[in-house]
C-alpha cells in the first residue's frame, strides 16, 4: 500500500534523476535512462490512482464551481489530512 508521502518522495527522486539524465551526452544512455524513468513514472501514477487516491480520485475531476462535492466540514477535514501527508497547496 503506497502512501501519499511515499509517492511524493518517489516523484522528487524521478525529477532529480531526470535532471541528471538531461546532462547525459551519449544518445543511447539518455534514451535508456528516459525509458526507465518513464516506466517508473507510469508505475507511480498507477499507484497514486489506485492505492493513494482510490475512490477520492473523483474529487480531482473538473466540477462546476458552484457545485462542490463536499460540504465545508468534510472539505476542511480532507485538506487537513492531505497537509499532514505533505501536500501544502490546494
Domain ranges of the chain: 1-61
State the CB neighbour count (10 A cutoff) for residue 52: 19
Confidence class for position 29, pLDDT limits 50, 70, 90: very high
Whole-prediction pTM value?
Answer: 0.61
Helices (H), 1-90: 4-22, 27-47, 72-84
Which has more confidence, 49 or 69? 49
Over range 52-70, report the average pLDDT: 72
Q: How far is 23 from 29, CA to CA, in rounded Å?
A: 11
Amino acid at each position: 500500500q503506497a502512501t501519499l508521502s511515499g509517492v511524493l518522495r518517489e516523484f522528487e527522486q524521478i525529477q532529480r534523476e531526470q535532471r541528471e539524465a538531461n546532462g547525459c551526452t551519449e544518445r543511447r544512455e539518455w534514451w535508456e535512462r528516459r525509458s526507465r524513468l518513464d516506466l517508473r513514472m507510469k508505475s507511480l501514477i498507477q499507484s497514486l490512482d489506485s492505492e493513494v487516491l482510490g475512490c477520492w480520485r473523483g474529487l480531482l475531476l473538473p466540477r462546476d464551481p458552484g457545485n462542490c462535492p463536499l460540504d465545508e466540514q468534510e472539505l476542511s477535514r480532507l485538506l487537513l489530512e492531505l497537509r499532514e501527508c505533505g501536500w501544502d497547496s490546494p
